[in-house]
Structure 1
Amino acid sequence: MTQLKLAIISNESGFFQPLNTSQTQTTKPTIQINITESFQTMDGFGASFTDSAAYLLDQVLSNEKRDQVMKELFDAEDGIRLSLIRNPMGASDYARTIYSYNDLEENEVDPEQKYFSIAHDEESIVPLSQQALEINPQLKFMASPWSAPGWMKTTGSMKGGQLLEEFYASYALYFVKYVQAYQEKGIEIFAVTPQNEALYEPFHYPSMLMKAPEQVVFVRDYLKPAFEKAGLSTKIFGYDHNWDRIDYPLELLDNAYDAFDGIAWHWYGGRPISQTRVANIFPDKEIHFTEGSGGEWIPAFEPAFSNLMRTGINILRNGSQSFILWNMALDEKNGPTVPGFGKSTCRGLVTVNQATKDYELTLDYYGLGHFSKYLQDKAVRIDSQSDVEGILTVAFLNPDGSVVAVVFNDNEAAEECRVNLGDDQSIAFTLEAKTAATLLLTV
């Protein structure tokens, strides 16, 4: 018999409120969940400890408030159980300075990576990552570079340009040393991507153009062999860019199938169906969603919360094993950003006010929490179907046998909803317009 353990909702009126439900007899459920039809095994949900986010959480907040917000982020009982962190390898656009792990003077080179060091990360990024791991021991870590060190590139700078082929082997060693350095800190790197947003080359923050043929050669002939030689099991996910260019990941897998473990996606262009289109051709490769930011371009609350819930459900229904937003924290001015970046419009999961030394949790925190809070490690997505237009849903089976269903009413009016797990018992409730609900069920 289906039993409801808990149900919470979030909308413009409030977050994580109790949802009134009832158990009724029904033969025509609005939402049918089938635990016998399974899909991807989840690796996790999370955000990024950018340099900016780590600075705000670790150095602006008091120790007491830092510990409090870390629990709200990573603890299963007192927080939303984030389970996957994507750390930038070096500076991104959200950093106080431009830095890599091997910065040299002009005209100097270090192909053997003798001067490689993660000293910068030891200030706040590593300690916060270690603290997060203590709170959630199942936590996984990914890493993505925005740029190679400037001396390896055509521009001689971390802004723009391409990786010089003469430094492909050295850059592969750079990755190896990064993974090993984090291992020494007790942090296993689950996966890397060769380049963040490889087709985007801005010149006002760290970036590096890496076209598909270049990524094929770098990963197939240098990075994958370097990992194997070092005995590293770290996975490699290619592309790490928007849904609107499926030709790039297809070219990677056509020409270097064995070198890539999967494909990583962002949401700043195209639609999540692209994940499935590539997976239909290469079904054995993993799908990961590695970056999507909320921001002022979608006004809060509505439609920003709706966009997060709608898109998140579609990302997961299109096979992704992860759902990672962008900055873990930003300040009241949407920063800090690298010098010369200009106006920032992004929003973090947490807003840290540098003037008051206090923080608040944003709508992105609560939206992501609807997916992450009740999912256990190795939860599996199962089939869920809605027969009401505008009622979006995704469901998961936890290892302990419980079922988590996330439901979002994307309509302009309240809807009567019923969830059926296949027996003669249904959970019935009313879901207001633009409202998300998470139900924890046992069978």
Structure 2
Amino acid sequence: MNQDTISKYSVANKSVMVYTTAENTALRLTKTAAKTFVKAEQPVESEISVFVNTNKTFQTFMGIGGAITDASAEVFAKLPKDKQETLLKAYYGKTNGIGYSLARTNIHSCDFSSGSYTYVSDEAKDLNTFSIAHDTVYRIPMIKRAIAEAGGDLLLYASPWSPPAFMKTNKDMLHGGKLLPEYAEAWALYYTKFIKAYEALGIPIWGITVQNEPMAKQIWESCIYSAEEERDFLKNHLGPTMEAEGLGDKNIVVWDHNRDLINHRANTIFEDPEAAKYAWGTGFHWYETWAGGDPMYDNIRKVKENFPDKNLLFTEGCSESFNADHYEYWPNAERYGSSMIHDFNNGTVGWTDWNILLDQHGGPNHVGNFCFAPVHANTDTGELIFTPSYYYIGHFSKFIQKDAKRVSTASSRSPLLSTSFMNPDGSLVTIVMNQSDDAINYNTIIDNSEVKLEIPAHAMQTLVIQ
């Protein structure tokens, strides 16, 4: 992984503010300590330490956010006006919220839509009936309000779950199937029409992913691409069409699926110069554990090692199998914390949660694939439920600034996970997660200085040094 050089940093005369979220407490992004650094002593093996080397920096941080899907927008529209404002400020507010700066949305329908739909009303390849009128009812108004709450700057990208049924081998938007070769040009044009339609309404689109989960035959909208098929569609159709339509400056993200097969997909696409030239980088999800085993965090590092000039973007993750009794289920939050720390430490530049808002049933979802979101709304009462996952994500998104540089960080013991970023304003942010059942006293050693802290059991802390 390439290292950048920054000017010599020192914590001399700097203080550290500590913010904590912890299980079985009322602590939720709560300021719990303010300390100053002292000269570091040689740590010993019986202590637990976090080591930060500010002379070694890595990727540039792009942002953190979540997806504004049809489901999120439909639930949002059912909320009272004051609760709508509460939600927007909670996510996108930089002072009282957690400062989301990144968003994903769907190109026509996905499972988190109330039903399947497309933007065309006939099967003509010229797409002359293309219209995003459907999205102007719920989704576009919510996206516009999110952009405004974020201060006018929200990096938004879009993903398709399936081409229209007539373009596919199975003549069905659901249940997998493949793109018919004779519709490759029309489907490539579809992306460009989506981008232009959204931008005509004042919603900038940063880029697109080629296909959501291209190796999953789902009961909802899905479409299968082998690595070679995605490579060739990008190289021969999508990339050239984007350029021909004046959208060559938009970013194209490949894969957009789990960490398990990511290396094969990256190898296949990025080893082909004619395909690779159109790809900004690789997107990935966290659901590889469905087949057994642990998250394959190390695969992300290996992609970055092999293709250091390509970027990594986490494009989707959520806790599946919704159960309203588990709103406060702490392992859901820890899944976020663990993934974010590992993914950033392995070179990821941005991290995108799935639905930012769902209802009290974990939907709406037109095939019953109900899931958790960091925030749920009871549409009967208008109540907002903020889960621990919201606060765990906030330990990153609230404090790491756009264009921050990741800083070398390591823990001496496995119960503590940690990552650090140097912000453009000169503040240093170190995030520490305690996965254990016990409170832990630990040293944070930055170059030649240290501060001694305590983190509760099953807790997340953000240390802001400035």
Q: What interval of TM-score do these two structures reach, taking the shorter chain for normalisation? A: over 0.9
Deviations 1:119-157 (A, max 9, x none): 111112111111111122332011110011111111222
Match of 2:393 among 343, 368, 374: 368
Deviations 1:154-186 (A, max 9, x none): 122211211111111111111111111111122
Match of 2:227 among 206, 212, 224: 212
Aligned-partner SS, 1:10: strand
* Aligned partner letter, 2:385: E
- 1:440 matched to 2:464? The reply is yes
- 2:46 is matched with which residue? none
- 2:454 is matched with which residue? 430
- 1:188 is matched with which residue? 204
* Aligned partner letter, 2:86: Q
* Partners of 1:56 and 1:355 in 2: CA distance: 11
- 1:263 is matched with which residue? 282
* Partners of 2:388 and 2:42 in 1: CA distance: 33
Greater shift after overlay, 249-258 or 43-52?
249-258
Match of 2:70 among 51, 56, 60: 51
Contact 1:21 1:429 in 2 (8 A): no
Contact 2:52 2:446 in 1 (8 A): yes
* Partners of 1:157 and 1:72 in 2: CA distance: 38
Output aligned runs, 1:32-431, within 5 Å: 32-57=51-76, 59-104=77-122, 109-136=123-150, 137-159=152-174, 160-202=176-218, 204-232=219-247, 233-245=249-261, 246-255=263-272, 256-269=275-288, 270-296=295-321, 300-338=328-366, 341-342=367-368, 344=370, 346-424=371-449, 426-431=450-455
Contact 2:430 2:464 in 1 (8 A): yes
Contact 2:17 2:33 in 1 (8 A): no
Contact 2:17 2:35 in 1 (8 A): no
* Partners of 1:80 and 1:55 in 2: CA distance: 22
Q: CA deviation at 1:243?
A: 0.7
Q: CA deviation at 1:423?
A: 4.0
Contact 1:239 1:264 in 2 (8 A): yes
* Partners of 2:253 and 2:397 in 1: CA distance: 22
Q: CA deviation at 1:21?
A: 4.6
Task: Name the TM-score, length of structure 1 as normaliser.
Answer: 0.94
Instruction: Give the % identical residues.
Output: 30
Instruction: Call closer, same or farther: CA 1:97–1:414 in 2, change over 3 Å.
Output: same
Aligned-partner SS, 1:294: coil
* Partners of 1:347 and 1:103 in 2: CA distance: 33
* Aligned partner letter, 1:431: I
* Partners of 1:229 and 1:27 in 2: CA distance: 61
* Partners of 1:25 and 1:74 in 2: CA distance: 38
Q: CA deviation at 1:2?
A: 5.0
Deviations 1:61-86 (A, max 9, x none): 01221112101110100100011101
* Partners of 2:322 and 2:132 in 1: CA distance: 34
Match of 1:22 among 35, 38, 50: 35
* Partners of 1:28 and 1:333 in 2: CA distance: 53
* Partners of 2:143 and 2:305 in 1: CA distance: 35
In the alignment of these two chains, the number of paired residues is 432
Aligned-partner SS, 2:135: coil
Contact 1:2 1:441 in 2 (8 A): no
Contact 2:217 2:223 in 1 (8 A): yes
* Partners of 1:196 and 1:183 in 2: CA distance: 22
Task: Name the TM-score, length of structure 2 as normaliser.
Answer: 0.89
| Gap regions ≥5 residues in structure 1 | none
* Aligned partner letter, 2:203: I
Deviations 1:191-214 (A, max 9, x none): 211100000011x31111111111
Contact 2:160 2:212 in 1 (8 A): yes
Aligned-partner SS, 2:453: strand
* Partners of 1:142 and 1:153 in 2: CA distance: 24
* Partners of 2:13 and 2:195 in 1: CA distance: 45
Q: CA deviation at 1:296?
A: 4.3
Greater shift after overlay, 223-232 or 395-404?
223-232
Contact 1:352 1:358 in 2 (8 A): yes
* Partners of 1:2 and 1:55 in 2: CA distance: 50
Deviations 1:11-33 (A, max 9, x none): 11231122225334432462222
Aligned-partner SS, 1:244: coil
* Partners of 1:417 and 1:297 in 2: CA distance: 36
| Gap regions ≥5 residues in structure 2 | 1-11, 44-48, 289-294
Aligned-partner SS, 2:271: helix
Q: CA deviation at 1:418?
A: 2.1
* Partners of 1:295 and 1:162 in 2: CA distance: 26
Contact 1:138 1:377 in 2 (8 A): no
Contact 1:294 1:364 in 2 (8 A): no
Aligned-partner SS, 2:199: helix
Greater shift after overlay, 292-301 or 177-186?
292-301
Instruction: Call closer, same or farther: CA 1:40–1:289 in 2, change over 3 Å.
Output: same
Contact 2:83 2:382 in 1 (8 A): no
Aligned-partner SS, 1:188: coil
Instruction: Call closer, same or farther: CA 1:435–1:2 in 2, change over 3 Å.
Output: farther
* Partners of 2:385 and 2:108 in 1: CA distance: 27
Q: CA deviation at 1:278?
A: 1.5
* Partners of 2:145 and 2:231 in 1: CA distance: 36
* Partners of 2:282 and 2:213 in 1: CA distance: 12
